[in-house]
């Protein structure tokens, strides 16, 4: 049974009480956003590429409907439009055969005053003009949904953002002009200092339908070999499961990267990963197919090269000039 999850679930008061929260629906929505690599490493997809790709696909479907309606209105029916298109195709690509058939009809009517070769030669004079007039129409207008779909399929999928609570860092690779750059942020687990994260404006989180939905989680990181070069990365699911889905994502990040938890009585307790077992998918949600589609691309997928990532991470962790740890 498909569930429409636009209704916002109850949520814990803050990230400190999140691990003890047991409402299944809450964890089902979080599972749409967070992928666990291990009890100490979590990944979240970047938001911007998902929203672009989904909108390309939806716009392609919408434009297909618009063009079909335009053809129906102009030609009276889709069958008439198809016949006109086939006539144009035959005229351009099967020109001589069509002209010879026309010549034979004239012979039968005893109207042929020229030879077949002369008749074909005369008819070819206007052939190129018709092609130039018709080809842009079919290539640009009729194939517009295909071009939009192609843009979506070729839109690259950036590397996700990885949260490593054991090493107390957040990191990712950013590819620009065929150059991969390693970005990182330190997170002190006792106070979460270094986690420069915030919810983007609501307008950035609007789904395919109208409405004010919370935007993605914006995380600030800096280039590992040049700390002065900072960049904002937006993470979170698209479309969201409910209006404040990304607030839940931010609370998960804070709880996951925290160096301690609280028990049901509010006492501080050592961190353990048992509560991560709650992060499981439940029933199918209405827009799961769109979230799945938003991750599909024919372009190269920028993902973690584990060996290269480990080398870059260790170089950063062991470099005193870029790392200040007690």
pLDDT beyond 70 at 9? no
Give residue 30's pLDDT. Answer: 92
Tokens describing residue 130: 């018709």
Instruction: For residue 194, list its beta bridge partners.
Output: none
Confidence of residue 276 (pLDDT cuts 50, 70, 90): very high
Give residue 110's pLDDT. Answer: 60
Q: From CA 5, how far away is CA 286, in angstroms rounded?
A: 7
Q: Where are the alpha helices (DSSP H) in the chain?
A: 24-30, 47-75, 78-93, 95-108, 116-123, 127-136, 144-154, 245-257, 288-293, 306-317
DSSP letter at 235?
E
Q: From CA 54, how far away is CA 130, in angstroms rounded?
A: 37
- Measured CA to CA in angstroms, residue 62 lies from 56, 58, 65, 145 at distances of 10, 6, 5, 8
Give residue 42's pLDDT. Answer: 95
Could you tell me which residue, 63 or 107, shows the higher pLDDT?
Answer: 63
At residue 30's C-alpha, the angle toward residues 29 and 32, to 5°, is: 70
Instruction: Identify the residue whose tokens are 């009729």.
Output: 142
**What average pLDDT score do residues 222-235 get?**
89
Lowest mean pLDDT among 82-91, 129-138, 192-201: 129-138
Confidence of residue 244 (pLDDT cuts 50, 70, 90): confident
- Measured CA to CA in angstroms, residue 296 lies from 50, 54, 55, 138, 228 at distances of 9, 9, 13, 27, 34
Read off the pLDDT of residues 293-304 as tens digits, 9 standing for 90 and up. Answer: 777 778 777 788
Name the residue among 179, 324, 161 with its Cα closest to residue 256. 161
Q: Nearest 5°: phi and psi at 301?
A: -90, 120
**What average pLDDT score do residues 221-233 get?**
89
Lowest mean pLDDT among 25-34, 55-64, 96-105, 243-252: 96-105
Name the residue among 262, 274, 259, 248 with its Cα closest to residue 186. 259
Mean pLDDT of the chain: 78
Read off the pLDDT of residues 107-126 as tens digits, 9 standing for 90 and up. Answer: 655 665 666 666 666 666 55
Q: Can you say whether the dihedral through the CA atoms of 48, 51, 57, 62 is positive or negative?
A: negative
**What average pLDDT score do residues 215-230 get?**
87
pTM for this model (two decimals): 0.74
Give residue 253's pLDDT. Answer: 92
Find out whether 206 and 219 touch, Cβ atoms under 8 Å.
no
Find out whether 25 and 282 touch, Cβ atoms under 8 Å.
yes
Q: From CA 284, how far away is CA 304, in angstroms rounded?
A: 29
Lowest mean pLDDT among 13-27, 90-104, 216-230, 275-289: 90-104
At residue 303's C-alpha, the angle toward residues 302 and 307, to 5°, is: 125
**What average pLDDT score do residues 15-32 get?**
88
Lowest mean pLDDT among 107-111, 258-262, 275-279: 107-111
- Measured CA to CA in angstroms, residue 187 lies from 19, 168, 322 at distances of 19, 5, 14
Confidence of residue 178 (pLDDT cuts 50, 70, 90): confident
């Amino acid at each position: 049974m498909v569930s429409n999850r636009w209704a916002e679930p109850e949520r814990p008061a803050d990230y400190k009480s999140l691990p003890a929260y047991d409402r299944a629906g809450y964890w089902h929505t979080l599972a749409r956003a967070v992928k666990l690599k291990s009890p100490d490493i979590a990944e979240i997809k970047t938001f911007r590429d998902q929203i672009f790709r989904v909108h390309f696909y939806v716009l392609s479907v919408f434009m297909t409907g618009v063009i079909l309606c335009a053809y129906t209105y102009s030609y009276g029916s889709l069958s008439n439009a198809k016949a006109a298109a086939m006539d144009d195709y035959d005229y351009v690509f099967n020109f001589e055969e069509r002209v010879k058939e026309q010549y034979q009809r004239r012979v039968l009517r005893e109207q042929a005053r020229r030879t077949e070769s002369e008749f074909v030669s005369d008819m070819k004079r206007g052939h190129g003009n018709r092609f130039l007039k018709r080809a842009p129409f079919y290539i640009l207008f009729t194939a517009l949904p295909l071009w939009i779909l192609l843009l979506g399929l070729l839109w690259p999928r950036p590397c996700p953002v990885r949260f490593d609570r054991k090493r107390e860092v957040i990191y990712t690779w950013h590819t620009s002009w065929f150059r991969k750059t390693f970005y990182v942020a330190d997170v002190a687990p006792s106070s979460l200092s270094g986690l420069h994260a915030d919810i983007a404006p609501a307008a950035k989180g609007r789904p395919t339908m109208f409405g004010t939905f919370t935007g993605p989680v914006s995380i600030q990181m800096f280039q590992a070999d040049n700390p002065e070069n900072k960049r904002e990365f937006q993470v979170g699911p698209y479309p969201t499961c409910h209006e404040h889905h990304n607030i839940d994502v931010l609370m998960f990040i804070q709880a996951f990267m925290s160096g301690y938890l609280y028990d049901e009585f509010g006492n501080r307790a050592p961190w353990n990963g048992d509560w991560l077992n709650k992060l499981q998918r439940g029933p199918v949600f209405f827009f799961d197919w769109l979230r799945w589609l938003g991750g599909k691309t024919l372009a190269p997928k920028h993902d973690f090269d584990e060996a290269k990532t480990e080398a870059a991470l260790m170089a950063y962790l062991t470099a005193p000039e870029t790392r200040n740890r007690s």
